[in-house]
Structure 1
Amino acid sequence: MLKVASVVLLLSSCDVFACFKTLKVGTNENNWPPYLIKQGNTFVGAEVDTVNAVFKNSPFCIEWVYFPSLSRVQQELKTGHIDITFAASYTKARAEYSYFTDVYRDEIMLLYKHKNAKNVVDLVTLFENGATVAINRGSFFGAEFEK
C-alpha cells in the first residue's frame, strides 16, 4: 500500500510541473542584443527574461518561434498560429486582432545616416530628396513615417 501511495504522490507532483498550455511567442529577431539573441535553438535576452518573468508562476509554458519578418509574425498572430509577440507598438489596425499589455519599456525611434550623407532634418526632406530608407517590414515607426 505504501508503494502505491508513493507512486500516486510522485505522479500527482509531476502534474505541478506540467504545462496547462504551451504559448507560442513569435519573433523575427535573432540578433538584437540585449533584447533577443538566438543561440542554436534557444533564445536569450531581456525580452526572453521579461516573458519568462510574466509566466513564471503560471500554468503556461513558452515556445519561441522564429519567422523571417515582422509582417509574418503579425500574420501568424492574426490567424492564431502564435499566441504572443513582444516589443509591439500599439496601432488601431493591430488592435483589431490583438490585445496589448501595459507598456513595459519606453523606446524612442531615431533615424541615422551615413556620416557622408546630406543632413536630414525631418522625414519630409528625407523622402523629397529621394533617399533610400531601410526598415523592418511590418514595423511601426510613428504616424509621420506612415504618411
Structure 2
Amino acid sequence: MKSISFLCLIPLLLFISSCGPNTPAPVSTAQPEATPAVATTNAESAKPAVNCQLKLGFEAWEPYQYTSLDNKPAGLDIELVQAIAGQMGCEIVAQQGTWMELIGALKSGGVDLLLGASVTPARQEYAYFSDSYRQEQFVLFVRTEDVAGYPQNTLADFVGNGKKVGIISEYYYGPEFAELFKQDTLKPQFVEASLGELNLARLLDQDIDGMLEDSFVGHAMLRRKGLDKQIGAHSISMGNTDVFVMFSKATVKPEQVSAFNQALAAIKADGRYNAIVQRYIH
C-alpha cells in the first residue's frame, strides 16, 4: 500500500539534517500522569532508516484525533500524518493537550506540528502550513426541541436575534464567523470554551442556544455520550473549508515542510490516502 517513488535526495538530506531526536517539552493534558504516547509508522516498502523525529501535538477531537483505549494516538488525522511520516522515514512522537495549550507549545517550539488547522494571518506569523490535506465543515448544533423555533438561515441572523453560540477559543470557523466575531455588538453573543464537551454541557443547561462544531466531530461526540436525540445539527453551516498541517517556525525549516508536502502527494498517488479516509466514512 505504501510503495511509491522516493523523495529526491537533496530535500531528504536537508530534512534529515534539520531533524533531531530531542525529547519533546511536556504539555499539560487532561491526564497529566500519563506517559506521552509514541506513534511510529514505518513504510511498508524498503525505505532506508532515517534518524528523524517530529513532535506532534494533538487534542481530543474524535474522529480526527483522540487517545485510544490502549493510550495511543488514533483517528483520521493521526493515521494520515503517520503514513506521511512513514513515507518520509520519520518517527512521530505525540503528546496531547487542549488547543490553547498546543498553540502555545507550537509558538515556543514545544511541538513541531499541529493537525486540522486553518490558515490565518495571525498564525502565519509563527507557523508554516502544509498543502491542504482534507476539508471540514462547521455546523451549528442546537437542542432538538428548539429547532422549530430557530428559523434563521445564517449565523448572522441567529446571533442577531439575540442567540448565544458556544465556540472553542482560538478556533477558526471561516470568514463569515470572523466578520461577526470582530463586531463589538455581536461578539458578546459568542461564548468561548476550551473544549467541545464544555459547549455541549452549556447547551444542555440552556446557557447557550447553539454551538459550532465540525460536523463529524459533533455527531461522534453526541453518539458517544448518548445525546443524539436531545441535540442535533441545524441547517446553518460555515461551508466546506480546507485544512492544513501547521508547523512551528521555531523548530521546523521550510525544506521540511516541502518534504512533508511531497510525502503527502506520494500517499495520495499510491492509494494509501484514500484507503485511510474510507475507513472513517460512515
The interval holding the TM-score normalised by the smaller chain is 0.7 to 0.9
Pick which of 100-109 and 19-28 moved more.
19-28
Residue from 60, 70, 77 that aligns with 2:106: 77
Residue from 75, 82, 104 that aligns with 1:52: 82
Amino acid corresponding to residue 110 of structure 2 in structure 1: H
2:58·2:97 contact (CA, 8 Å) conserved in 1? yes
Q: Identify the residue that residue 66 of structure 1 maps to in structure 2.
A: 96
Unaligned runs of 5+ in 2: 1-47, 180-282
Amino acid corresponding to residue 112 of structure 2 in structure 1: D
Alignment of structure 1 residues 68-107 onto 2, 5 Å: 68=98, 70-107=99-136
Q: How many residues align?
A: 128
Alignment of structure 1 residues 22-37 onto 2, 5 Å: 22-29=53-60, 31-33=61-63, 35-37=64-66
Amino acid corresponding to residue 45 of structure 1 in structure 2: G
Cα deviation for residue 59 of structure 1 reads 4.2
Cα deviation for residue 119 of structure 1 reads 2.3
Structure 1 Cα separation of the partners of residues 56 and 135 of structure 2: 21
| Secondary structure of the corresponding residue to residue 88 of structure 2 | coil
Pick which of 50-59 and 83-92 moved more.
50-59
Cα deviation for residue 26 of structure 1 reads 0.8
Q: Identify the residue that residue 125 of structure 1 maps to in structure 2.
A: 157
Does the alignment pair 1:137 with 2:166? no
Amino acid corresponding to residue 60 of structure 1 in structure 2: C
Q: Identify the residue that residue 146 of structure 1 maps to in structure 2.
A: 178
| Secondary structure of the corresponding residue to residue 138 of structure 1 | coil
Cα deviation for residue 28 of structure 1 reads 1.9
Distance 1:57 1:125, change over 3 A: closer
Would you tell me which structure has more strand in proportion to its own residues? 2
TM normalised by structure 2 equals 0.42
Large movers: runs of 4+ above 6 Å: none
Distance 1:57 1:142, change over 3 A: closer
Alignment of structure 1 residues 6-17 onto 2, 5 Å: 17=49
Alignment of structure 1 residues 106-121 onto 2, 5 Å: 106-115=135-144, 116=146, 117-121=149-153
Structure 2 Cα separation of the partners of residues 131 and 59 of structure 1: 50
Identity of aligned residues (%): 28
Map Cα deviations across residues 106-135 of structure 1 (whole Å, 9 max, x no partner): 222222322314222212222222222122
Structure 2 Cα separation of the partners of residues 79 and 37 of structure 1: 23
